[in-house]
């Protein structure tokens, strides 16, 4: 039943919007086309920032800097009983949302979603944000070059989210 409702939800929302536009005597199709045309300058202004971010993430991931760093801190992680896969998520989450979703999927396949590792990964995913992506895309698309304290505030919020996730999940498990 839930799957049936979820499959109908988006078409239902679109239908309600069209119905509302007809009720308000708005040419819905022309409004849609005008909105699509107006989006191209925004897309063109955001594309270079997004491309630079994707290039930086790929260089970071392919260089294996993270693997070398994990070999150094692995004894500490074992001492506090944090799996290496979770640490990959902690490092990658501020950088790339899609890579952490892939890591989360891998953790679910390896450890299951209901155990300590799967729950911790889920809570970290939900309590942190893609700070570098947000700053690059949003600040870059509107032309802000000096981000001042936004980076440090975002990274501090991610750190607090990760720390709280570890403490809460360890307390509950």
The Cα–Cα gap between 37 and 30 comes to 10
The Cα–Cα gap between 149 and 22 comes to 47
How confident is the model over 67-82, as a mean pLDDT? 86
How confident is the model over 86-112, as a mean pLDDT? 88
How confident is the model over 79-96, as a mean pLDDT? 86
**Which residue carries 């819905």 as its tokens?**
28
* Residue 168, pLDDT score: 94
Mean pLDDT over the full length of the chain: 87
Q: What is the pLDDT of residues 113-154, one digit of tens each?
A: 999 999 999 999 999 998 988 888 788 778 787 888 998 999
- Confidence band for 167, pLDDT divided at 50, 70 and 90: very high
| Most confident segment among 32-36, 80-84, 118-122 | 118-122
CB 106 within 8 A of CB 125: no
Q: How many residues does the chain have?
A: 173
pTM metric for this prediction: 0.68
The Cα–Cα gap between 130 and 48 comes to 18
Q: Is the pLDDT of residue 67 over 90?
A: no
Tokens encoding 148: 């001042």
The Cα–Cα gap between 86 and 103 comes to 9
Q: Is the pLDDT of residue 62 over 90?
A: no
Distance of CA 124 to the CA centre of its chain: 11
Percentage with pLDDT > 90 across the chain:
34
* Degrees to nearest 5, angle at CA 62 with 105 and 112: 15
- 28: how many CB neighbours lie within 10 A of its CB? 14
């Amino acid at each position: 039943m839930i799957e049936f409702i979820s499959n109908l939800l988006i078409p239902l929302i679109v239908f309600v919007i069209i119905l509302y536009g007809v009720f308000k005597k708005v040419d819905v199709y022309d409004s849609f086309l005008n909105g699509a045309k107006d989006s191209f300058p925004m897309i063109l202004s955001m594309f270079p920032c997004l491309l630079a971010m994707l290039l930086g993430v790929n260089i970071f991931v392919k260089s294996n800097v993270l693997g070398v760093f994990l070999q150094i801190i692995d004894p500490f992680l074992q001492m506090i009983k944090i799996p290496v896969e979770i640490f990959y998520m902690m490092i990658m989450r501020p950088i790339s949302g899609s890579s952490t979703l892939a890591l989360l999927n891998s953790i679910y396949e390896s450890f299951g979603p209901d155990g300590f590792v799967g729950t911790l990964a889920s809570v970290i995913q939900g309590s942190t944000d893609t700070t570098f992506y947000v700053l690059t895309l949003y600040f870059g698309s509107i032309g802000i070059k000096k981000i001042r304290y936004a980076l440090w505030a975002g990274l501090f919020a991610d750190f607090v989210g990760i720390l709280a996730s570890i403490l809460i999940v360890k307390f509950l498990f």
